[in-house]
Amino acid sequence: MTDESDTTGTERSLDSSAEVALQLPSDLRIIEAAVSHLVSRCRAFAFEGPRLELNFRVGVTEALANAVLYGNSNDPAKTVYVKLKIDEHQVVVCVADEGDGFDPSSVPDPTTPENIHSPGGRGLFLIQHLMDEIHFNERGNSVRMVLMREEPRRPRG
């Protein structure tokens, strides 16, 4: 990322993987540039296609927005931390904020009739359905998202 975007980052490439680390201000305006940067790093490591352009882009955008809005309460003094690791099988993105955390199981399902018009829960719902794996730390202020290069086969039900 460039200095104009008020971000700091490091990047290193290993023989069979690449890693990127970013520190972002709690500012919604920076999310699009940050996600585009991460997508370009994935492309540079030959991770392309609709899973990158839809699943990854939307999932990471939602995680960053949640970190800024809910985790860091839009506090410009707080930072959002992003780590990206790409290898031959998957891309792993960790997004952490400086907030108190939350219990993901307490977020209501936005698709149920009683919650369909409620504003909360849609971002988490999208992340859970677009990424292949999603894990929260115990505190609830960090999410680890995994997207496989190839869509995993899911049992038919």
Q: Indicate the pTM of the whole model.
A: 0.85
* 3-148 CATH fold: Heat Shock Protein 90 (3.30.565)
**Banded pLDDT at 2 (limits 50, 70, 90):** very low
- Cβ within 8 Å of residue 83, ≥6 positions away: 19, 20, 21, 22, 92, 93, 94
Domain extents for the chain?
A: 3-148
pLDDT at residue 6 in the model: 45
* pLDDT tops 70 at residue 33: yes
CB contact at 8 A, 143 and 131? no
What pLDDT, on a 0 to 100 scale, did the predictor assign at position 121? 82
Report the chain's mean pLDDT, rounded to a whole number. Answer: 88
